[in-house]
Amino acid sequence: MKFGFPLFPESASTLAPQVDAIYFFGLGVAAFFSTLIACLIFYLAIRYRRRSEDEVGKREKAAMWLEIAWSIIPLGILLFMFAWGAKVYFEARRPPGDAVEYFVTGKQWMWKFQHPEGQREINHLHVPVGQPIQLKMTSEDVIHSFFVPAFRIKMDVLPGRYTTVWFEATKTGTFRLFCAEYCGAEHSRMGGSITVMEPRDYEQWLARADSATGPLALAGAQLFEAKTCGTCHRPDSNLLAPILHGLFGEEVTLASGDKVLVDENYLRESILDPKATVVSGYEAKAVMPTFVGQLSEEELVELISYIKSLGDAASHGETPEESAG
């Protein structure tokens, strides 16, 4: 809380002071010019008032320097605000390279979390302090929005695709989480909390929390066999189906000729709607069945984590330098 007055949420992430600074600057500029204009209206109304019944006002012409000044100064202020806002926006949108990935599934009316080590939580997420954390989010039903005021982050959570938001908590404590998109009867109760812990406490918490599935990539590897993906996508199955090793982060050419970057959304679509993303060269043998309805959001996340973990440069026939980054 700023100034001990509950107008402002607590500031608990690296982003929060930056967003607040922009907000206060904008507020300051607006307050300054509103006051200036209001005062000038009074002053000029009095200064140029009609002094007698038959007075006809004479035409005033502003000096050139004044015309230029009141064009250039606002332009400069606005461009400054634009550049500043863009800088913070890009920082807020691009997770740092060392961000650890967590998965979030919104659902009427709860939040489900998956830790990279496989622990699952509902409505309450535990994270370590001072560590950039990236959330890959999707919804099982309607549009939700992930809003943590203390971190100054808010991002829509959409069915059928992943959106990303990241934060780095700067203090330990428990901070409220809200759904900020009207999503049905119990929308207002679709909330929770994020508990930020010292790294050591977090490790202890992780060890205590049960992880039924183990690390996501490991759970994905088991699913990969259970769902028969492995029968077609064997490491030596190049003729039957594309090899998935070293695929993530690469560009693939589709049968349509489009080039697409392999990210979570691409993998998701490849699994749920293979016909929409047929890989070039497989036009005639695009035999992959759709897995719509056979995989939960959590299972999809596990499969995707597994495919990501196959980023094995050697088996993909490229140098490690190329695949690093």
| Cβ closest to ligand HEC, residue 218 vs residue 278 | 278
Among 112, 126, 136, 144, binds Cu ion (CB under 5 A): 144
Whole-number minimum distance, CB 168 to ligand HEC, in Å?
31
217 is in the binding site of which of Cu ion, ligand HEC, none (Cβ under 5 to 8 A by kind)?
none
Task: Write down the least CB distance from residue 313 to ligand HEC, Å.
Answer: 16
Q: Which residue is nearest to ligand HEC (CB)?
A: 229
Asked whether 73 and 36 are in contact (CB, 8 A), the reply is: no
274 binds, among Cu ion, ligand HEC, none (CB under 5 to 8 A by kind): ligand HEC
Contact string (CB under 6 A) for ligand HEC, positions 257-276, x = contact:
----------x--xx--x--
- The distance of closest approach from Cβ of residue 109 to Cu ion in the complex, given in angstroms and rounded to an integer, is 6
Question: Tokens in use for 111?
Answer: 């939040």
**Could you tell me if 310 and 246 are in contact, meaning their C-beta atoms sit under 8 angstroms apart?**
yes
At its nearest, how many Å lie between ligand HEC and the CB of residue 251?
10
Using DSSP, state whether 295 is helix, strand or coil: coil
**Judged by CB, which is closer to Cu ion: 126, or 144?**
144
Q: Which stretch binds Cu ion (CB under 5 A): 7-15, 123-131, 172-180, 193-201?
A: 172-180
Choose between 104 and 267: whose C-beta lies nearer to ligand HEC. 267
Query: DSSP alpha helices (H): ranges in 111-215?
Result: 199-208
**Binding partner of residue 247 among Cu ion, ligand HEC, none, CB cut-off 5 to 8 Å per kind:** ligand HEC
Of residues 189 through 208, those in contact with Cu ion by CB under 5 A are 190
Rounded CA gap, 88 and 153, in Å? Answer: 12
CA-angle at 94, arms to 75 and 12, nearest 5°: 90
Chain positions 217 to 236 lying near ligand HEC, rule: CB under 6 A, are 227-229, 231-233
Pick between residue 139 and residue 305 the one whose CB is nearest to Cu ion: 139
Provide DSSP, 193-217.
EEEEE-HHHHHHHHHHS--SS-SHH
Q: Does 308 bind Cu ion (CB under 5 A)?
A: no
Label residue 312 left, alpha or beta by phi (over 0 means left) and psi (-120 to 50 means alpha).
beta
Residue 252 binding target from Cu ion, ligand HEC, none, CB below 5 to 8 Å by type: ligand HEC
SS3 of residue 267 by DSSP = helix
DSSP-assigned states of every residue in 3-70: GG-TTS----BSHHHHHHHHHHHHHHHHHHHHHHHHHHHHHHHHHT---STT--PPPP---HHHHHHH
What distance in Å separates the CA atoms of residue 54 and residue 48, rounded to the nearest whole number?
14
Rounded Cα distance, 241 and 235, in Å? 10
Q: Which residues pair with 157 in a beta bridge?
A: 144
Map the footprint of ligand HEC across residues 285-304, applying CB under 6 A: 285-288, 291, 303
CA proximity to 166, closest of 15, 305, 20, 302: 15
The footprint of Cu ion on this chain (CB under 5 A) covers a number of residues equal to 4
Dihedral sign, Cα of residue 17, residue 22, residue 23, residue 28: positive
* Per rule CB under 6 A, count of chain residues that contact ligand HEC: 26
Q: Least separation, in Å, of the C-beta of 155 and Cu ion? A: 12
The residues of the shown chain that bind Cu ion, judged by CB under 5 A, are: 144, 179, 183, 190
The residues of the shown chain that bind ligand HEC, judged by CB under 6 A, are: 227-229, 231-233, 241-242, 244, 247, 252, 267, 270-271, 274, 277-279, 282, 285-288, 291, 303, 307
